[in-house]
Copies of this chain bind each other. A is one copy, B any other.
Amino acid sequence: MFKRILIANRGEIAVRIIKSCKRLGIETCVVFSTADRESLAVRLADVAICIGPGPAKGSYLNINNIIAAAELADVDAIHPGFGFLSENSHFAQVVRDCQIEFIGPLSESMEALGNKAKAKALATKAGVPCVPGSVGSVKDQDEAIKIARQIGYPVLIKAVAGGGGRGMREAHNDASLVSGLISAQREAEAAFGNGDCIIEAFVQRARHIEIQIIGDKHGNVISLGERDCSTQRRHQKLVEESPSPVITPDIRKAMSADAVKLSKAAGYYNAGTVEFIYDLDRKSYYFLEMNTRIQVEHPVTEMVNDIDLIALMIKVAAGEALPFKQEDIKPKGHAIEVRVNAEDWQNNFSPCPGKISMYVAPSGKGIRVDSHCYAGYNIPPHYDSMIAKLIVHGTDRADALRILEQALSEYVLDGVKTTIGFHQRLIRDPRFVNNEVTTKWVDDVFMKS
């Protein structure tokens, strides 16, 4: 097992990783920007090394300084968390070239799956259902129009390197297709340095359902079940739960099998998430993309399976075989996660960085809060606005919602605006309670009512 791990991340996930390391008896080294000097991760880690200024470009995205810190602290592995460099195959390669283990998949797997066009081709080859659309990225507007007319409008334009809704456009006719393609390409070029886009049929009434997989270096890959992340705002996940309240056991089984199939086809190991789009009308699912890292919503899977995914990632990275087989995975109860962000949800969810003056997180049976915040903490403007992830675990969905309502009502947080009020309103909405939500519902219906 590793002696010391460097955490190339910040905020809640850095704290989360430190805790799993402590539990495993592994020393931790956290790198931080000048804006995070007073962060909880810096305080909890055994070693903390400043690697750059507040803006991520000079610090959390600064490969040179992170590697320099890794050598200074003499670590034998690096956990990238999520965001920042977590899906950067070049970073993973540099880390491994320095004889430091990258806690994640092989760079090759990351490249094969990180690019939407390549991933789709791989999925098709592996026999995993994909959304009808272009094979590979579209050469030009004419090809785009040709394909769009083939599969029929509305269609979705997606940047192959995109993520988090960026480089994504809907098109309902040739005109909007052309304009959408241009703006999507421009946006993707700027955000990911790659403007290539694909065209896909647009599923009108969709649920976002993803399968958490984990593989070891001995060829074992298993599914830990699904997460339903259909409650989104502008393609940003707001609520995640497991099991999904809308799919049948057969669909669940097929999705898991396909997720494992795809992962194996990519020679994948460590934790990963295979995202599917579920068509409520056709009652069928299509492969969307694969995230080659741990995800924000991983606690949902941890709660129903009573496991520590971060610890598992570290163990398989160290060469251990998976401690259980597919048939051992029997999720219990129902888990729901809501993201508590420093945002003014009544004003377009605009970020509200600033100082938290009073902070008392809810606690009790079935309540879990993953957070890096504390009273006196100043939420820096450079990064995302997440304050905490509130996860509840109940015997069933109704029980989980009951616990969630209590937990939200107990959340004491002064000084900045938060999305707690949004979630309180959301979980009381009968349409949410009755699972009538689609991925567009919050934008098109809920926020307008």
Decide: B19 and A364 in contact? CB cutoff 8 A.
Answer: yes
Decide: A308 and B365 in contact? CB cutoff 8 A.
Answer: yes
Chain B residues in 8 Å Cβ range of A375: 358-359, 374-376
CB of A48 to closest CB in B, whole Å: 14
0/1 string, A390-408, CB within 8 A of B gives 1: 0000000000001100100
A43 to B403, CA, bound (A): 19
Across the interface, A412 reaches (CB within 8 A) one of B365, B374, B406, B409, namely B374
Please name the residue on chain B nearest to A360 by beta carbon: B374
Across the interface, A364 reaches (CB within 8 A) one of B23, B358, B359, B376, namely B23
A22 interface residue, CB < 8 Å from B?
A: yes
Decide: A363 and B359 in contact? CB cutoff 8 A.
Answer: no
Chain B residues in 8 Å Cβ range of A376: 357-358, 375-376
A44 interface residue, CB < 8 Å from B?
A: yes
Which A residues from 164 to 206 make CB contacts under 8 A with B?
none
- A40-B412, A359-B374 known; A406-B22 Cβ under 8 A: yes
Which A residues from 319 to 371 make CB contacts under 8 A with B?
357-360, 363-365, 368-370
**What is the interface size of chain A, counting residues whose CB is below 8 A from a CB of the partner?**
26
CB of A18 to closest CB in B, whole Å: 9
- A375-B376, A410-B44, A412-B43 known; A369-B363 Cβ under 8 A: yes
A402 to B23, CA, bound (A): 8
CB of A240 to closest CB in B, whole Å: 19
A308 to B22, CA, bound (A): 29
A298 to B393, CA, bound (A): 23
Please name the residue on chain B nearest to A21 by beta carbon: B406
A412 to B22, CA, bound (A): 15
Decide: B374 and A22 in contact? CB cutoff 8 A.
Answer: no
A409 to B40, CA, bound (A): 13
- A308-B365, A375-B374, A375-B376 known; A410-B358 Cβ under 8 A: no
CB of A176 to closest CB in B, whole Å: 48
CB of A64 to closest CB in B, whole Å: 31
A376 to B375, CA, bound (A): 8
Interface centre among A364, A368, A409 (most CB of B within 10 A): A364
A368 to B22, CA, bound (A): 17
Chain B residues in 8 Å Cβ range of A403: 23
Across the interface, A22 reaches (CB within 8 A) one of B40, B359, B409, namely B409
Decide: B19 and A410 in contact? CB cutoff 8 A.
Answer: yes
Chain B residues in 8 Å Cβ range of A23: 364-365, 402-403, 406
CB of A368 to closest CB in B, whole Å: 8
Taking A22-B406, A375-B375 as known contacts, 11 extra A-B pairs with beta carbons closer than 8 A to each other, sorted by chain A number, are A19-B364, A19-B410, A22-B410, A23-B364, A23-B365, A23-B406, A40-B412, A358-B375, A363-B369, A363-B370, A374-B412
What are 6 contact pairs spanning A and B, CB under 8 A?
A: A19-B406, A23-B364, A308-B365, A358-B376, A363-B363, A363-B369
Q: Give the 9 A-B CB pairs with smallest separation, nearest first.
A: A375-B375, A360-B374, A22-B406, A19-B364, A375-B376, A23-B406, A40-B360, A44-B410, A374-B375
